[in-house]
Amino acid sequence: MSVSVKVVNILSSEELRRTLRRLASEIVERTRDLSQLVLIGIHTRGVPLANLLASQIEGLENVKVSVGALDITFYRDDLDQIGLRTPAKTSIPFDLTGKTVVLVDDVIFKGRTARAALNAVNEYGRPEVIRLAVLVDRGHRQVPIHPDFIGKQLPTAAEEIVKVYLEETDGKDGVELIKD
């Protein structure tokens, strides 16, 4: 028996670029003081997304936004289900106390990564507010977490896979839905 895998293009490179521009605009609109804004990318693809959003915000508002990188491996409650991972390097070289922190991730699914990121952020200060920006929201939450900024709402079946490609990590930009 052969298994046929169907790949559906969700966002092209150009659509991804436009989506990031819109997300950056929404973040600017909802941030009272841009000098207090920091973006924290969740490894792996949240980090380059945070850098891309920071560049967009700088282009829009001529304000340099601090960007950090967060690995949440040791804060997860489902390590037994996802298997062993080699942690990436967390780099948050600034105090988060009083800041407007926007956690950035590529896809939100069950919400466990975002929950772990909320726990991890507390080790770096007490932010004024923490918001969540995701490129794709595919539903199926297991915890009561909802992103503040959503690039693309994508209803999926639980067994489907959403794959984000970024030039920096994958050599191309785009989002695909993979169905069995």
Query: Which of 163, 104, 108, 170 has its CA nearest to residue 131?
Result: 104
Grade residue 164 by pLDDT with cuts at 50, 70 and 90.
very high
Grade residue 128 by pLDDT with cuts at 50, 70 and 90.
very high
Phi, psi of 107 (to 5 degrees): -135, 135
User: What dihedral do alpha carbons 105, 110, 111, 112 form, nearest 10°?
Assistant: -100
Query: Which of 10, 20, 18 has its CA nearest to residue 48?
Result: 20
Span 95-121, pLDDT tens digits: 999 999 999 999 999 999 999 999 999
User: Within 13 A of 12's CA, how many CA atoms are on the CB side?
Assistant: 2
